[in-house]
């Protein structure tokens, strides 16, 4: 059996161990400490001075962002339909209602025109949505100009779910820094990892200070434990922040490697007709291409996204269908949705290819060879 190729495995730089060792040597084995403070500062520098609260996961960051915007019971939150369930679950934690908005085909992210139609309809028939969560799927920035315009026009705050998009940019500005707040994930499969972790990004420290407070059980500044609101245990561990510091030093190499993977796939698969790769629509967009993703638009019974996934799997290669849209998930099936068929089309016809920054040239040739032979090309 050939060696296993994973979809998006962690890729350590070797620099992480120094910071972890420091944590052990100084006994800062806690969800606070120098690595957490420095990781926040270093990430803030990378994100052009935006404030950072380092947290236990991206999901926790979304949850806190919703709380900070005052989202509560029966409030409505507009959210991308084409995403991972972690974007949506925190809306339910708050007893609020997700309202799904489908994708445009240019970026595969939230369609700004459909967003406006959804808002108009919610306001006319129900009530004004309390927040919008827009996702940068697979690292591709959403159409921020248009989305921000709608958010401003209706005065509804925006949360940018950039869990997959650290290192991506729109109009030269970092993903994660758009809207009222942004969130990042450092889960093991992401462009950089802390094994598990996330961050809340905001333009001012008022929000991140409040997030740190809520993430530390909302402990008031007293000698005894005093609590006047509900808190959470959502801070990042000082050991894991050490991993993050070592990872952050190589972020630009990682982005370059992911972009290079996609370029190699484009070259090696160019002979196959009817493959549409997720692509930057114009030069405003710069994607980290976290996962190389494509749609097989000329599919048949023998060559389609699922047959390719099975063929790669038979050679010990991990690949995955594109996101199953939220409105099709049994857990969310009764929630309101504004649809145009695009996310369903992407799900039915697309797949993500292995995209780790530690893939070798031979690995990519083996994977592309697997796709080509599934098509019957040697
Ligand atoms: C789009 C998106 N949002 C949110 C999350 C949640 O991040 P985490 O796994 O760090 O909780 C993820 C990844 O897992 C994601 O891909």
CATH of the domain at 302: 3.90.1150.10
Q: State the Cα–Cα distance between residues 140 and 278, nearest whole angstrom.
A: 8
- Tell if the pTM clears 0.95, that is, is over it: yes
Residues 6+ apart with CB under 8 A from 297: 274, 275, 276, 349
Q: Do 279 and 149 have their domain in common? A: no
Q: Do 239 and 257 have their domain in common? A: no
Q: State the Cα–Cα distance between residues 38 and 84, nearest whole angstrom.
A: 30
Identify the residue whose C-alpha is closest to ligand 1 atom 15: 163
| Domain annotation covers residue 25 | yes
Instruction: Annotate 310-364 with DSSP letters as a single string.
Output: HHHHHTTB--EEPPPPGGGSGGGTTS-EE--SHHHHHHHHEEE----TT--HHHH
Span of 123-127, 263-267, 272-276 with lowest mean pLDDT: 123-127
Which residues' Cβ are closer than 6 Å to ligand 1?
Answer: 57-59, 83-84, 86-87, 135, 161, 163-164, 185, 187, 198
Atom of ligand 1 nearest to the CA of 83: 1
What does the pLDDT read at residue 259? Answer: 98
What does the pLDDT read at residue 298? Answer: 86
Q: Quick: pLDDT tens for 173-209.
A: 999 999 999 999 999 999 999 999 999 999 999 999 9
Band of pLDDT at residue 170, cut at 50, 70 and 90:
very high
- Determine the length of the chain: 378
H helices present in 180-304, as ranges: 205-215, 238-248, 251-268
- Average model confidence (pLDDT) across the chain: 97
Q: Do 37 and 151 have their domain in common? A: yes
Atom of ligand 1 nearest to the CA of 187: 10
What DSSP element (H or E) covers 371? Answer: helix 361-374
Task: Name the residue of 163, 196, 320 whose CB sits within 8 Å of the most ligand 1 atoms, as the mutation to test its pocket.
Answer: 163
- Output the CA 84–ligand 1 centroid distance in Å: 7
| Domain annotation covers residue 265 | yes
What does the pLDDT read at residue 30? Answer: 85
Q: Could you tell me what percent of the chain has a pLDDT over 90?
A: 95
Residue 34 reports pLDDT greater than 90: yes
Span of 161-165, 259-263, 279-283, 301-305 with lowest mean pLDDT: 301-305
CATH code of residue 134 = 3.40.640.10
- Output the CA 349–ligand 1 centroid distance in Å: 23
Band of pLDDT at residue 31, cut at 50, 70 and 90:
confident
* 16 dihedral zone (left: phi>0; alpha: psi -120 to 50; beta): alpha
Atom of ligand 1 nearest to the CA of 197: 10
Contact 158, 151 (CB under 8 A): yes
Last residue of a domain, one of 219, 249, 279: 249
- Output the CA 11–ligand 1 centroid distance in Å: 18
Q: Do 215 and 354 have their domain in common? A: no
Residue 378 reports pLDDT greater than 90: no
Band of pLDDT at residue 138, cut at 50, 70 and 90:
very high
What does the pLDDT read at residue 3? Answer: 96
């Amino acid at each position: 059996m050939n060696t296993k190729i994973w979809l998006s495995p962690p890729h350590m730089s070797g620099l992480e161990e120094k910071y972890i060792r420091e944590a052990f040597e100084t006994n800062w084995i806690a969800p606070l400490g120098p690595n957490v403070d420095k990781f926040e500062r270093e990430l803030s520098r990378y994100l052009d001075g935006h404030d950072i609260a380092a947290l236990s996961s991206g999901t926790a960051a979304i949850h806190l962002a919703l709380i900070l915007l005052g989202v509560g019971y029966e409030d409505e939150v507009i959210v991308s339909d084409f995403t991972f369930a972690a974007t949506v679950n925190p809306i339910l934690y708050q007893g609020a209602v997700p309202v799904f908005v489908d994708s445009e085909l240019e970026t595969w992210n939230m369609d700004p025109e459909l967003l406006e139609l959804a808002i108009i309809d919610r306001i006319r028939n129900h009530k004004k949505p309390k927040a919008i969560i827009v996702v940068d799927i697979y690292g591709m920035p959403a159409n921020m100009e248009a989305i921000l315009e709608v958010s401003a026009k209706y005065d509804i705050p925006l949360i940018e779910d950039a869990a997959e998009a650290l290192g991506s940019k729109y109009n030269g500005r970092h993903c994660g820094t758009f809207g009222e707040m942004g969130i990042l994930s450092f889960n093991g499969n992401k462009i950089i990892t802390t094994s598990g972790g996330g961050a809340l990004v905001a333009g001012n420290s008022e929000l991140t200070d409040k997030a740190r407070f809520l993430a530390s059980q909302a402990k008031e500044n007293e000698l005894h434990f005093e609590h006047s609101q509900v808190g959470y245990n959502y801070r990042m561990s000082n050991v894991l922040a050490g991993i993050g510091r070592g990872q952050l030093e190589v972020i630009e190499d990682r982005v370059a490697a992911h972009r290079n993977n996609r370029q190699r796939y484009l070259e090696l698969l160019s002979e196959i007709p009817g493959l549409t790769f997720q692509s930057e629509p114009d030069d405003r967009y710069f994607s980290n291409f976290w996962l190389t993703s494509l749609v097989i638009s000329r599919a048949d019974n023998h060559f389609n996204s699922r047959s390719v996934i099975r063929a790669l799997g038979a050679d010990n290669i991990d690949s995955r269908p594109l996101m199953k849209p939220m409105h099709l998930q049994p857990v969310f099936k009764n929630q309101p949705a504004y649809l145009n068929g695009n996310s369903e089309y992407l799900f039915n016809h697309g797949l993500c290819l292995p995209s780790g920054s530690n893939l070798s040239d031979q690995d990519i040739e083996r994977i592309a060879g697997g796709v080509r032979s599934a098509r019957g090309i040697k």
